[in-house]
Amino acid sequence: MFYYTYILQSIKYKTFYIGYTSNLKKRLQEHNSSKSLATKPYIPYKLIFYEAFLHQVDAKNREEYLKGGYGRKSIKALLKRYLNNTSNPKER
């Protein structure tokens, strides 16, 4: 079994949500069907990044890292091309 750390982006608001799960497909469906109170106001979401781990603790640690200051910088570096192609032209 794998554990996944993932990044979702709100299609409507362009905000990010970072989480971890053992069932990525099911978790994305839960987010988009308003089953998560944290993400409900910002649906719909699309999956823009994920990493797979063999151990749950590793996925959880990666999630915590990505939610921190250096992790946010890492996200910008990892997804630089994606973010540049999807950003609002007014923000460039």
Query: With bands split at pLDDT 50, 70 and 90, how would you rate the model's confidence at 89?
Result: very low
The domain limits of the chain are 3-91
pLDDT tens string 25-42? 999 999 999 988 889 999
Please report, for residues 25, 54, 60, the alpha-carbon distance to residue 73 in angstroms, rounded to integers and kept in the order given: 26, 25, 18
Q: Write b or e for each residue in 52-82: b if 16 or more Cβ atoms lie within 10 A of its Cβ, otherwise e.
A: ebeeeeebeebbeebeeeeeeeebeeebeee
Check if the beta carbon of residue 11 is closer than 8 Å to that of residue 44: yes
Edge-to-edge strands, sheet with 45-53: 16-21, 3-10, 45-53
pTM: 0.86
The CATH classification of domain 3-91, taken from the options 1.10.150, 3.40.50, 3.40.1440, 3.30.43 = 3.40.1440
pLDDT tens string 44-81? 999 999 999 999 999 999 999 999 999 999 998 889 88
Write down the mean pLDDT value for the chain.
Answer: 91
